[in-house]
Amino acid sequence: MTFVRQTSTAVALINLSLWLQSGGMAALIGWARISLGPDTDKLGPLRSAVLMVRFTTAIIALHVLQILLWASFYRWLCLPLWESAFYFSTASYTTVGSSDMVLPQVWRILGPVESVVGVLMCGLSASLLFAIVTRLVVREARFSSQLANPGQSLDCQRKAPTSAEKHRGEWSYLAEEKANAACTVNWRSYKMRVSDYDLVVIGSGPAGQKGAIAAAKARKRVALIDHIAMIGGVCVHTGTIPSKTLREAIFQLTGFAVKAL
């Protein structure tokens, strides 16, 4: 009966800790999306440092709440003073351990359980801070590249052309609104100037592709625009009237359309 009581109490405290951690991290993620959204301006070193201090303070407060949760139980059934309960809970949560204070034998299993929970919760918080720092570094690098190339509004990393492509002049850049495309364009801030390109080709089908390549061979600055990331146009990806006609003719000549398998 004692073991069942200890287990049920430990499960309840673990669930409450998980709910506190998950709810706090969800709120911090929402805050980070607002603070580090694509529409926000460049933060700069000082504002980035202030933002990291705020996030770190919020995470520390979240862990203090979980320590107080366990300390409340220790004060209720195990220890006579709040100071002792908070000290023991903090030592167990941070895996430091308390050599001068022990729980009653009935509840001594809760100390190691709290240490395991503390390690896991600190790991989750560290991963969130790492993700926020990574996002800040990516934003700073993006704004720095835009300042270094003011005429270039493409928000992407261009693929370096090979020596053969440089010689032929047959390499170009593609743009798409989706984030998983090879290159993305921030349409809100991107404004194409007349002096940026000598030729703008709309559509990457056979005619558009050959026209863009011919202009590139003539050392012209060419922009190739299409609504999908892969070049080739409708002829390659969905099929056109000639290809469908050829397909039907093959079916008729082979008898596939009228004969059963």
Looking at residue 135, its pLDDT comes to: 79
The residue count of the chain comes to: 261
Cα–Cα distance for residue pair 140/14, rounded to 1 Å: 39
Looking at residue 38, its pLDDT comes to: 61
Looking at residue 157, its pLDDT comes to: 44
Q: Which amino acid is at 3?
A: F
Looking at residue 202, its pLDDT comes to: 87
**Which residues of the chain are under the pLDDT cut of 50?**
150-160, 165-189, 261
Cα–Cα distance for residue pair 24/29, rounded to 1 Å: 9
Cα distance between the two ends of the chain: 70
Query: Based on the domain organization, do 119 and 210 belong to the same domain?
Result: no
Query: Based on the domain organization, do 105 and 176 belong to the same domain?
Result: no
Domain of residue 259, residue span? 153-261
Query: Based on the domain organization, do 176 and 95 belong to the same domain?
Result: no
Q: Which of 96, 130, 148 is the last residue of a domain?
A: 148
Query: Based on the domain organization, do 236 and 200 belong to the same domain?
Result: yes
Query: Based on the domain organization, do 124 and 209 belong to the same domain?
Result: no
Q: Which of 148, 168, 200 is the last residue of a domain?
A: 148
Query: Based on the domain organization, do 103 and 19 belong to the same domain?
Result: yes
Query: Based on the domain organization, do 167 and 144 belong to the same domain?
Result: no
Looking at residue 238, its pLDDT comes to: 62
Query: Based on the domain organization, do 136 and 43 belong to the same domain?
Result: yes
Looking at residue 13, its pLDDT comes to: 93
Looking at residue 237, its pLDDT comes to: 63
Question: Which residue's entry shows tokens 């080709």?
Answer: 201
**How many domains in the chain?**
2
Dmax (CA) of the chain: 94
pTM, rounded to two decimals: 0.53
